[in-house]
């Protein structure tokens, strides 16, 4: 099977991007090459991480486009030019257009810091997720990697792992423990995808040994 060409879209610090860079370096992610990192945010530390690792880093400024459709089209064009097979959303804060999702159907992966379908959907990002987990009083939370469809956090689930909520947890301590799990799950999901181990049956993602 040909090596999968990956693009990561990230808006912020990029620790999940780093987990993919490291995964490819240390052989936990196979059959993959990280070709491009795109950000909507000029100051995203994710762009620095890309450059530090010899990966093309592209800031595409949303302000220079008429609207979200045009902006998404510009990213799509950049991905097509580089023959990207897999798009990884790693803390990417913009909504993908329907055309984008259609163009990369079942080839866009997102990481979310809760056990979907809890504490997810529109507006659930950053600290809010963990704050609401604590306020609700659930005993377990976790991380989810899923395919992206037209909804927000509604696509088929690839991997999930639970994280226990401790009585002494703060938003910060919980976010840190969940993040550690994200850094395990995301490279694992990327590896499974790139080795052709993921098959979809309706909403269910079947993991096959390859
Ligand atoms: C992570 O918590 C991820 O689950 C969410 O956004 C955050 C990004 O963190 N989608 P980082 O930029 O990868 O460090």
**Catalytic residue among 112, 130, 146, 183, which?**
112
Q: Is the CB of 90 under 6 A from ligand 1?
A: yes
pLDDT tens digit string along 84-118? 999 999 999 999 999 999 999 999 999 999 999 99
Where exactly are the structural domains of the chain?
Answer: 4-207
User: Mean of the pLDDT values across residues 127-151?
Assistant: 98
* Gap from CA of 1 to ligand 1 centroid (Å): 30
Q: How confident is the model at residue 157 (pLDDT cuts 50, 70, 90)?
A: very high
How far apart are alpha carbons 164 and 182 in whole angstroms? 14
Torsion of CA 193, 147, 185, 8, to 10 degrees: 80
* Whether residue 23 has its Cβ less than 6 Å from ligand 1: no
Architecture of domain 4-207: 3-Layer(aba) Sandwich (3.40)
Q: What is the pLDDT of residue 210?
A: 76
User: Which atom of ligand 1 is least distant from the CA of 16?
Assistant: 13
- The yes-or-no answer on residue 183 being catalytic is no
Task: Kindly give the distance from the C-alpha atom of residue 91 to the centroid of ligand 1, in angstroms, as a whole number.
Answer: 4
Q: Is the CB of 16 under 6 A from ligand 1?
A: yes
Atom number, ligand 1, closest to the C-alpha of residue 18: 13
Could you tell me the strand order of the sheet in which 157-164 lies? 56-59, 32-39, 4-9, 86-89, 108-112, 140-147, 157-164
- Percent of the chain having pLDDT more than 90? 99
């Amino acid at each position: 099977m040909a090596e999968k060409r990956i693009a990561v879209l990230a808006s912020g610090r990029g620790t999940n991007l780093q987990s993919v860079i490291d995964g490819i370096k240390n052989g936990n992610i196979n059959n993959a090459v990280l070709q491009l990192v795109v950000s909507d945010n000029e100051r995203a530390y994710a762009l620095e991480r890309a450059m530090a690792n010899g990966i093309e880093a592209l800031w595409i400024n949303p302000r220079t486009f008429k609207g979200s459709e045009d902006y998404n089209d510009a990213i799509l064009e950049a991905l097509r030019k580089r023959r990207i097979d897999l798009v990884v959303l790693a803390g990417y804060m913009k909504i993908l257009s329907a055309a984008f999702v259609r163009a990369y159907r079942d080839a866009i992966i997102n990481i979310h810091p809760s056990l979907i379908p809890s504490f997810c959907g529109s507006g659930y990002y950053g600290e809010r997720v963990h704050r609401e987990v604590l306020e609700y009083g659930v005993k377990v939370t976790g991380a989810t990697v899923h395919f992206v469809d037209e909804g927000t956090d509604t696509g088929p689930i690839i991997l999930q792992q639970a994280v226990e909520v401790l009585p002494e947890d703060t938003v910060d301590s919980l976010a840190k423990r969940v993040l550690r799990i994200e850094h395990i799950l995301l490279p694992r999901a990327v590896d499974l995808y790139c080795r052709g181990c993921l098959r979809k049956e309706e909403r269910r993602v079947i993991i096959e040994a390859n």
